[in-house]
Amino acid sequence: MAGKQELELFKAALGNPNHISTINDHISSQLHFINTVQDNSFTPWDILELIECCNDPQVRSLLIIVLFTQENFFNNLPKESILDQLSRDEPPSPSRINYWIQQLDTRVLTEQHLKNILPEAAVSLLVSISHFHVLDEPVIQLLFSKYLRSDLLKYWLKHYALMPNAHLVLGHIVKFLYNEVFDLLNNQLKNESTLPVLYMRMIEHLNLFPKFIRFFIKLKLKESHLEYAMKLYLNGHFYEIYPQLIGALAQQLPGISRSIMQLFFRLQGNQYLTEILKKKQLSVYQYIQETAEQGSTSLWFEQGELQPHLLLAQMRFPDHEYAMVPLPELFSNLPHVHQSISLFEYYLNFYKGSPKNLESLLREVLRLKQCKQHFFENLTLWLDNPLVSALTKSAIHRTFIEYAHEAPPEALYRLFNYDGINTLQYYGMQGGTSNFLKLFTCCQKLLQSPLTEAQKQMVLRAQLEARLELTLHNYHGLFGALFKRFMRCYYYGWSGFFFPQPNAFTHPHKIISPPNFEEVLIPKKPSLAELLINRPETLNTEYLNQIILKLEEENLKNPMPHEYQIRKEIHQIIQIITQNDEMDAALRNWYNTHQVSCTRNLIRLVEITFLEGSLSDVQALLGESPEGSNQIKRLKDELFPKPISMKPQPPELITEPEESNELMGELISAFNKVSSIATKTLTSVGNAIPWSFWQTSPEKKPAPLPLPENHYN
């Protein structure tokens, strides 16, 4: 057992920056320090004194690790051990050594450092939330090996699997305890109320649990799990494992809801889901048909933006392995169909909604460069098909003539053939040189088409007007006006005294703005960042609902843009609500209704803070937060540990002074032997004690010295 003088020398050395730097220089020097402290036979009370006088977090942690190797330390602690809690069902309480666990620096949590800690310390570290993000597989395996009991895994899964960053630990556990985890979740824990949430958590981090696809298949999960997996995949979780899970779960479900069909629709064209999409195509096509008959256009938009890959996705008819939908009569009569049409064309065939909405949708489709040519070539074929409704034909013509000058000659001819006058007048009647040029271009293309004589004369007249108005555009002033009138009379004919006949296809005098078609079918909603920037001075439920709805969307994204800052600002808004003693009743009701979402945001914020910050940052975050859910209350209990005192140290025999003097002589002799390493001698021990100090003299162990009172409170 170490004596009083040796303890004081250790204390002095722990205050020396040079020695601290030497200890932390390499893992080997840290391990040597641990062995040296153990070899000096310090009591737990001695080590607690050393911990209290050490300010370096790594060396302090090394001393705590030594403390965790001493049975005498645990035997003299009040309260029950966490090992006694493992077999019970009641909610857990923090480990009695949690105060020291929370002081462990993450840089010293390696197999080499922890190999000698006792079971209670191992289990306490295994449930330490603040260390979940740094525990790797070898360390976790080591900690489990310290207490080989099935109730430990059950306890962890039941009480800690939903804590911040627990998915990282669970991802390591299933690598070496896969069968045990599977059996527990499928049997002993299958009725736990938190299990569906745990499955959602595992699906969210599916890349950590690749083997669990077989497990999920055996469990026969609910449709909500399939829906969640599909939403994650659609929002950037592009791990190869997701298509496997989606395909497996989709095959299990006997029937699929409309919301799932919408997700399958959004996955059209995905090369990794080809087989399952083939099997579900009948349901997808029925979904498209029903949506079209209802007049809804929302299926083509995602967060207010039109999705071109859906518009152009192809559906095939009629004979392949999974085909169950007959080719509609309309498409069988169209020359461009060679067993393939786009989903958007299929949708238009069944559309029965508002003409105005259909025109707006077509207008937005034509604004997409990748869609314009395809639908110009295909949809203009519908204009002379008797099977197409008049509503659809009119909408196609009214929108497509806005881009007539860009149309291929064949498509332009079909537009003209459907309604020649309006096709030619669209540009000319708006006036202005740019519109006259567009009209002239259209006329040149049309003259290459197989026109009837009457059609040809109409096009020639429109071309004449466009050319003349372009020529007259450069004449100004009084004489210019007279010249324009004369030329129009000459070309268009007279009407009364020196008045020309009215133009048939152009407006000669001024530019007329085209109709305003800027209305948007599905308005693009502001982003979450924009909502937070434009926060109203007085919070209201409408604004808060927008925040929560947008947050639920953003939660699915991988990665979520500006995640930490956004979640921090949302948390601050929640604090404004909860910390206001005179909170408006409507806001209070809103918070109670959305408490789960608020808690989830805080939990994720804690996760990020642990990954990028420190325990003190998390404590500052939680210290300002209302307890709210049981999960937050437990977090606070775990992360704000209260110190406990060991039982008083038993009295020891007082060593004779002669023996103490002999001990000091031996210590001084040991220091002198290694003076080549020391930077100063023992006389300057407060400044720099040589490295040899950490080695125990092999000549003779010192006799017991009087031990100090316990200074640890």
As a whole number of angstroms, the distance between CA 238 and CA 254 comes to 26
Residue 279: predicted pLDDT = 85
Among 57-71, 259-273, 693-707, the range scoring the smallest mean pLDDT is: 693-707
As a whole number of angstroms, the distance between CA 177 and CA 326 comes to 51
Residue 711: predicted pLDDT = 37
For residues 479 and 582, membership in a common domain is answered with no
Asked whether the predicted pLDDT for residue 130 surpasses 90, the reply is: yes
What is the distance, to the nearest Å, from the Cα of residue 153 to the centroid of all Cα atoms in its chain?
29
Kindly indicate the confidence band of residue 235, based on its pLDDT and cuts at 50, 70 and 90: very high
What does the CA dihedral 347, 349, 351, 357 come to, rounded to 10 degrees? 80
Question: What percent of the chain shows pLDDT beyond 90?
Answer: 61
As a whole number of angstroms, the distance between CA 15 and CA 686 comes to 7
pTM: 0.81
340 forms beta bridges with 316
> Would residue 281 count as lying in a domain?
yes
Please provide the distance, in angstroms rounded to a whole number, between the alpha carbons at the two ends of the chain: 23
Asked whether the predicted pLDDT for residue 11 surpasses 80, the reply is: yes
> Would residue 577 count as lying in a domain?
yes
For residues 507 and 554, membership in a common domain is answered with no
Residue 291 CB partners (closer than 8 Å, separation 6+): 299, 347
For residues 512 and 543, membership in a common domain is answered with no
* Cis upstream peptide for 318 (omega within 30°): yes
Q: Write down which residue in 639, 655, 677 finishes a domain.
A: 639
Residue 698: predicted pLDDT = 43
For residues 270 and 343, membership in a common domain is answered with yes
Residue 306: predicted pLDDT = 93
DSSP 192: -
Mean pLDDT of 599-617: 94
For residues 291 and 353, membership in a common domain is answered with yes
Asked whether the predicted pLDDT for residue 508 surpasses 70, the reply is: yes
Q: Which of 316, 351, 346, 318 is nearest to 330 (CA)?
A: 346
Residue 673: predicted pLDDT = 42
Give per-residue pLDDT as tens, 381-435. 999 988 899 999 999 999 999 999 999 999 999 999 999 999 999 999 998 889 9
As a whole number of angstroms, the distance between CA 595 and CA 548 comes to 11
For residues 517 and 555, membership in a common domain is answered with no
> Would residue 592 count as lying in a domain?
yes
For residues 485 and 543, membership in a common domain is answered with no
Mean pLDDT of 562-584: 89
Mean pLDDT of 329-354: 76
> Would residue 300 count as lying in a domain?
yes
Mean pLDDT of 655-674: 43
For residues 556 and 595, membership in a common domain is answered with yes
Asked whether the predicted pLDDT for residue 653 surpasses 50, the reply is: no
| Six-digit token string for 333 | 């009569």
| Six-digit token string for 115 | 């190999």
Residue 683: predicted pLDDT = 35
- Helices 409-418/453-472 angle, 10° precision: 110
- Helices 223-234/258-266 angle, 10° precision: 30
What does the CA dihedral 155, 156, 160, 161 come to, rounded to 10 degrees? -120
User: How many Cα atoms occupy the beta-carbon half-sphere of 669 within 13 Å?
Assistant: 10
Domain tally for the chain? 3
Asked whether the predicted pLDDT for residue 691 surpasses 70, the reply is: no
For residues 376 and 260, membership in a common domain is answered with yes
> Would residue 330 count as lying in a domain?
yes
For residues 543 and 480, membership in a common domain is answered with no
> Would residue 94 count as lying in a domain?
no
What's the mean pLDDT when you consider all of the chain? 85
As a whole number of angstroms, the distance between CA 134 and CA 141 comes to 14
> Would residue 151 count as lying in a domain?
no
Residue 335: predicted pLDDT = 52
For residues 515 and 485, membership in a common domain is answered with yes
- Identify which has the larger pLDDT, 683 or 313: 313
- What domain range includes position 543? 528-639
| 162 burial via Cβ count (<10 Å: 0-12, 13-18, 19+) | middle
For residues 506 and 537, membership in a common domain is answered with no
Q: Write down which residue in 584, 607, 639 finishes a domain.
A: 639
- Identify which has the larger pLDDT, 234 or 704: 234
Asked whether the predicted pLDDT for residue 668 surpasses 80, the reply is: no
Phi, psi of 340 (to 5 degrees): -155, 130
- List Cα–Cα distances, 558 to 236, 269, 555, 562, in angstroms: 5, 21, 8, 11
Mean pLDDT of 366-373: 93
Q: Which of 386, 387, 383, 388 is nearest to 399 (CA)?
A: 383
> Would residue 274 count as lying in a domain?
yes
As a whole number of angstroms, the distance between CA 602 and CA 643 comes to 26
